[in-house]
Amino acid sequence: MLQVRKNRLWKLVTILFLSAGGISLILFSLNSKLDLFYTPSEMLQADIKSGYRIKLGGMVKNGSVKRDGTIIRFLVTDFIKEVPVIFEGVPPDLFKEDSGVVILGHFLNGTFEAEEIFAKHDENYMPPELTIDEAKL
């Protein structure tokens, strides 16, 4: 039946068209909207195009955190190189010196301007301040 064939053809065309659109959208988004992750040494070595949002991961260097009103400055290190970071706002609870962080933002003129700070929580992580009551031993 010609009508059925025609219907099927339309269906096929629509599906192909939508799929092509869908796949293009996905590929485009994947490639342009991913955040690259770098350690300080990797980032300083790589050639980051300006304006690109990236993730920087490392340790907050002990003694480097300085607060100036709502602005926080600190150094992120991987024990090989370090990067100065500037952030405005209240950082998450787990953010502290000597602890791991991942920062999302832009690297401009030698400073990393952070938009968001993530501090990782791992179920096995034992913070050093944990003590066992000696009286109970």
Partner 1 sequence: MIGEISHFLSLSAALLLSLVLIFNLFFFFNKIHQNQLTLSTRLFNQACWLVFISFGMYVYLAISDDFSIAYIASHSNSQLPAFYKVTSIWSAHEGSMFLWIVFLTAWSILFINSLDKKHPLKKLTLLMLSLIILGFLLFLLLTSNPFERILPFGVLEGADINPVLQDPALAIHPPMLYLGYAGFVISFSFITAYLLNGNFELQWEQDIKNWSFMAWIFLTIGITLGSWWAYYELGWGGYWFWDPVENVALMPWLAATAFIHSLFASSKSNVLKTWTMFLGILIFALSLFGAFIVRSGIIDSVHSFANDPERGLYLLSFSGLITLLALTIFAYRLPLLNSSKLVVTGSKESFLSMNNILMVTSIFSIFLGVTYPLIIESISGEKVSIGPPYYNTIFAPLILIAAIFIMLSVDALWQRSMTLKTLFITMVAPTMASLLSIYLIWQATNIFSILAYIGIFSGSLILFSYLFRTINKKFINKGSAIAHVGLGLLFFAVSMNSILSYEKNLNLAPGQSISVNESVQNFSFKDIRVFKASNHDVISAQVLLLQDGKEISLNPQKRKYATRGQITSESAIHASVLKDTYLTIGDQLENGSWTFSLKINYFIKWIWFSAALMVFGILLTIFKKKPS
Partner 2 sequence: MNQSLRLLIVILPILILVFFAKVLLLDEDIKFSNFESKNFPAFELNDLNGDPVKALSLDGIKLVNVWASWCITCLVEHPFLTKLGEKNIQIIGLNYKDSDFKANAWLEKYGNPYLFSIYDPRGDLAFDLGVTGAPESYLIVNNQIVGHIQGEMNQTKWETIFLPLITKAKQGS
Q: How far is the CB of 132 from partner 1 (least distance, A)?
A: 6
Residue whose token pair is 């150094």: 75
Sign of the CA dihedral with 88 first, then 89, 92, and 95 last: positive
According to the binding rule CB under 8 A, does residue 2 interact with partner 1?
A: no
> How many C-beta atoms surround the C-beta of residue 8 within 10 A?
10
Residues 79-98 that bind partner 2 (CB under 8 A): 79-80, 98
Of 80, 115, 117, nearest to 95 (Cα)?
117
- 85, 42 contact by CB (below 8 A): no
The only residue of 38, 74, 107, 112 in contact with partner 1, by rule CB under 8 A: 38
Q: Is 29 helix (H, G, I), strand (E, B) or coil?
A: helix
The only residue of 36, 45, 84, 98 in contact with partner 1, by rule CB under 8 A: 36
31-39, 75-83, 106-114 -> range binding partner 1 (CB under 8 A): 31-39
According to the binding rule CB under 8 A, does residue 30 interact with partner 1?
A: yes
- 84, 110 contact by CB (below 8 A): yes
Which amino acid is present at 54? I
Q: Is 10 helix (H, G, I), strand (E, B) or coil?
A: helix
136 binds, among partner 1, partner 2, none (CB under 5 to 8 A by kind): partner 1
Positions that interact with partner 2 (CB under 8 A): 39, 57-59, 62, 78-80, 98-100, 124-132, 134, 137
Q: Interface residues with partner 1 (CB under 8 A)?
A: 7, 11, 22, 25-26, 29-30, 33-38, 55, 67-70, 88-93, 96, 102, 104, 118-124, 126-133, 136-137
